[in-house]
Amino acid sequence: MKIAFFLGRIHHAIKLLPVALGLQEAGHTIEFVITDNSVNIDPTTDYLGKFGITEFHHAKDYLVQYGDPHEVDAIFDNALSIAQGAMSYVAPFWVISACYDAAMDLVGFGHYLDNSRPNIVFALHENNFFVKTLFYSAQERNIKTCSLMEGMILAREESTLKKYSTGTKYTDVLFSWSEYDKQYYADPDKIMPVGPSHFDDWINLKHEDTFESTKLKLKVQMGFRPDDEVIMFAPPRLDLYRGDPSKAIMAIVNWANLKRIGLILKLHPFQHGIEQVTEMVKQFDKVRVSNDADPMPLLVVADKLITQTSTIALEALVLGIPVYELDMDYFGIEQGLHKQGGAHLISGDNLDYIIDAPEISDDFIKNRLPLADGQSVKRIVDYIGATQWVK
């Protein structure tokens, strides 16, 4: 079968490429399709070379080859008439740009699908501006669509954005991390639990004899001493942090410095102002600041993780790394894993609890993520190979 993978921002590639490679090894033909926004924010082509991807189909190239300018203009005019009311609370520039992007992509994706005719279109998640357009175009042409669960499911995102109840409108199958996640989706029959597929290699590495030497090598590459204990603080995007993030960062940095503990300050990849944070902590020799899109090499180095509500907490637990949820300002932790037996809670400034806390059993992982066994990609490959994909 021919399977087209949509690559958006870099985290799409990080989570999708293990699946694409697994399907390719199983004998399927893999194509990559991309697009960019009209204001050239985070263009996909900036990172494709890092993954060795040199061949891809750009939706807007199909406008040049097959496009009729009047076709785009007609869709744009219609979209803009519908979106006029949004200009009372969204800057007109963004409304117009979004309408124009939607028009170009509906036409460009359509011409790509008509010419390439993949059996399946695969993307990270449907509730993305470009994926919604691509999946809609695929469904119009009776082409099947598949997506992956991106990470931790938040009740807040469903209550405010309807992120999950509308996240499978044009999706035929969504591969989730566990059976537990079905409860959030409007179409649970479309959900196929397989485990966190982007994590297979790291789970398997954890069980290899070379894991400790790999961890030591990465630790030294980051500038830590081989015998340093290393803790990672990975807050959510700082505008979503519950409390004062600057206070929390400096408290943890000072505490780690006092204890001579190595600290990785892992900011969210969409976090702006990393330069200011780096400047705040530059005098501390055991602190490393990063906002890399792929946290896994950093997480492997860490002995413990401090966070609030974040997918990285689940990823740490899968690797057997203890998780501590920080509530320094007593705001409470949204959907706290500590309430489910998966993490420790640090209230106030009792950071020494990171050292003194007892071990937590692995019951949370066994019950919540039983499919995190390094076989998730194989489950997807087997499912796709055994399923009839012609409507």
pLDDT one-digit tens code per residue, 17-71: 999 999 999 999 999 999 988 777 778 988 999 899 999 999 989 987 776 778 8
pLDDT for 67: 65
Q: Are residues 186 and 230 both part of a single domain?
A: no
Contact 3, 122 (CB under 8 A): yes
pLDDT, averaged across the chain: 91
pLDDT for 281: 82
Contact 167, 191 (CB under 8 A): no
Q: Is residue 391 part of a domain?
A: no
pLDDT for 85: 84
How many structural domains comprise the chain? 2
Q: Is residue 134 part of a domain?
A: yes
Name, of 182-186, 239-243, 372-376, the range with top average pLDDT.
372-376
Average pLDDT over residues 259-278: 86
Q: Are residues 363 and 218 both part of a single domain?
A: yes
pLDDT for 154: 83
Q: Which of 154, 199, 153 is nearest to 299 (CA)?
A: 199
CA–CA gap between residue 256 and residue 235 (Å, rounded): 16
φ, ψ of residue 111 in degrees (nearest 5): -65, -35
Confidence band (pLDDT; 50, 70, 90) for 166? confident
Q: Are residues 65 and 184 both part of a single domain?
A: yes
User: Angle 376-386/10-25 helices, nearest 10 degrees?
Assistant: 60
Average pLDDT over residues 77-94: 88
Res. 255: pLDDT tops 80:
yes
Full residue range of the structural domain in which residue 363 is found: 201-368
Q: Are residues 236 and 124 both part of a single domain?
A: no
φ, ψ of residue 139 in degrees (nearest 5): -65, -35
The CATH code of the domain that includes 154 is 3.40.50.2000
φ, ψ of residue 144 in degrees (nearest 5): -70, 150
Q: Are residues 177 and 283 both part of a single domain?
A: no
Average pLDDT over residues 324-348: 94
How many CB atoms sit inside 10 A of residue 366's CB? 10
Q: Is residue 313 part of a domain?
A: yes
Q: Are residues 192 and 231 both part of a single domain?
A: no
Q: Is residue 211 part of a domain?
A: yes
How many CB atoms sit inside 10 A of residue 121's CB? 30
Q: pTM for this structure? A: 0.92
Percentage of residues in the chain having pLDDT higher than 70 = 99
Q: Are residues 351 and 265 both part of a single domain?
A: yes
CA–CA gap between residue 56 and residue 30 (Å, rounded): 10
Distances (CA, A) of 128 to 105, 159, 202, 388: 13, 17, 27, 27
Q: Which residue has the higher pLDDT, 146 or 167?
A: 146
Lowest mean pLDDT: which of 6-10, 68-72, 355-359? 68-72
If you search the block for the tokens 């692995």, which residue do you land on? 362
Q: Which of 303, 372, 339, 249 is nearest to 325 (CA)?
A: 339
Name, of 19-23, 265-269, 338-342, the range with top average pLDDT.
19-23
Q: Are residues 207 and 348 both part of a single domain?
A: yes
Res. 269: pLDDT tops 90:
no
Q: Are residues 168 and 277 both part of a single domain?
A: no
The 3-class SS string of the chain reads CEEEEECCCHHHHHHHHHHHHHHHHCCCEEEEEECCCCCCCCCCHHHHHHHCCCCCEECCHHHHHHCCHHHHHHHHHHHHHHHHHHHHCCCHHHHHHHHHHHHHHHHHHHHHHHHHCCCEEEECCCCCHHHHHHHHHHHHCCCEEEEECCCCCCHHHHHHHCCCCCCCCCCCEEEECCHHHHHHCCCHHHEEECCCHHHHHHHHHHCCCCHHHHHHHHHHHCCCCCCCCEEEEECCCHHHCCCCHHHHHHHHHHHHHHHCCEEEEECCCCCCCHHHHHHHCCCCCCEEEECCCCCHHHHHHCCEEEECCCHHHHHHHHCCCCEEEEECCCCCCCCCHHHHCCCEEEECCCCCHHHHCCCCCCHHHHHHCCCCCCCHHHHHHHHHHHCCCCC
Res. 391: pLDDT tops 60:
no
Q: Are residues 124 and 263 both part of a single domain?
A: no
Lowest mean pLDDT: which of 154-163, 218-227, 229-238? 154-163
Q: Is residue 23 part of a domain?
A: yes
Q: Are residues 248 and 344 both part of a single domain?
A: yes
Q: Is residue 152 part of a domain?
A: yes
Q: Are residues 39 and 106 both part of a single domain?
A: yes
Res. 390: pLDDT tops 80:
no
Percentage of residues in the chain having pLDDT higher than 90 = 62
Average pLDDT over residues 298-304: 93
Q: Side chain identity at 79, as an amino acid letter?
A: A
Lowest mean pLDDT: which of 127-131, 159-163, 253-257, 373-377? 159-163
pLDDT for 161: 76
